[in-house]
Amino acid sequence: MNRDEFNVSVNDTLKRCENTLIKKNKEYAPNDDPLNNFKEGSEMSGLPMEQVLFMYCLKHLVSLRDIVFGKVESNTEMLREKTGDIINYMVLLNAINDSNKK
């Protein structure tokens, strides 16, 4: 892979993540509060939103581990979906952190 191909890969990944995050946010936060799912999870569990997010993300990390270590058959699209989900959780963690500063 050369630098140009790398840049295309990065841009494609970030665009895919952005599209998924926007689409899924409408699904998980129907009340115009983009962090609603984590607030509700926090209220139900008694855990801070950051810990709720980590627990939600954990299943994606386990799945990614299974892909990377060959425990499950995978393809490029499956890998991209898992890594994209994890990237989006990190974006959401930053959003939670930003909301806590207010």
Domain ranges in the chain?
Answer: 3-100
In a structure prediction context, what are the per-residue pLDDT tens digits for the chain, which is 102 residues long?
999 999 999 999 999 999 999 898 888 787 889 999 999 999 999 999 999 999 999 999 999 999 999 999 989 999 999 999 999 999 999 999 999 887
- The predicted structure's pLDDT at residue 26: 82
Enter the pTM of the model.
0.90
Which CA distances in Å does 7 have to 10, 62, 78, 88? 5, 28, 21, 19
Q: Which token pair is 86?
A: 């994890």
Cα atoms in the 13 Å half-sphere on the side-chain side of 20: 18
16 residue type, one letter: R
Q: What is the largest CA-CA distance in the chain?
A: 48
How many other C-beta atoms are found inside a 10 Å radius of the C-beta of residue 37?
20
